[in-house]
Amino acid sequence: MDKKGYKSSSRSVSDLKAHLVLVTKYRRKVINQAVLEDLVTIAKNLGEKWGVEIIEINGEADHLHILFGYYPQMQLSKFVNNLKTVTSRLINKNHAEYLKTFYWKDSVLWTSSYFIASCGGVTVEKLKQYVESQNSPSET
């Protein structure tokens, strides 16, 4: 990223950010400090592989918030599903005994659904005003 925060490639310049929320299966309170630290490390490593900038990541005992920047060609659903699969597998591997106290089956960490919303530096209302204020081409 350049100093203005834009991602530049051969075909586009963009500033795309998303807020992702992942919820633990059955809303079990399995995310302790050790699990959260592993989730942060795994997400950042996976983000590098996908060309995603993890801006902020944190959570509570039963859910995880990730704010990240991405590029226009990226398929968000594929990234999210890969993130859920990899974090679930590695957390299960690294914290197997701990997770057995919450779940009877291996490889279950997240619900099948997730929340994602695009976000940016200005509100939709401000963008709407900006677009409305543009000079329309005059008729010739």
Name the nearest CA neighbour of 26 among 105, 115, 90, 79. Answer: 105
Query: What is the pLDDT at residue 61?
Result: 95
Q: Is the pLDDT of residue 139 over 80?
A: no
Structural domains in the chain, sorted by start: 7-131 (3.30.70.1290)
pLDDT tens profile 40-94? 999 999 999 999 999 999 999 999 999 999 999 999 999 999 999 999 999 999 9
**Alpha carbons 3 and 129: distance in angstroms, whole number:** 26
Contacts of 72 (CB under 8 A, 6+ apart): 12, 14, 16
Residues 6+ apart with CB under 8 A from 8: 2
Decide if pLDDT at 1 tops 60. no
User: In which element (H, E) is residue 35 found?
Assistant: helix 33-50
pLDDT class for 106, splitting at 50, 70, 90?
low
Nearest to 22 by CA among 137, 82, 123, 112: 112
* pLDDT band for position 32 (cuts 50, 70, 90): very high
pTM for the model stands at 0.86
Quote the DSSP letter at residue 138. Answer: P
DSSP annotation of 91 reads H
Per-residue pLDDT at 8: 83
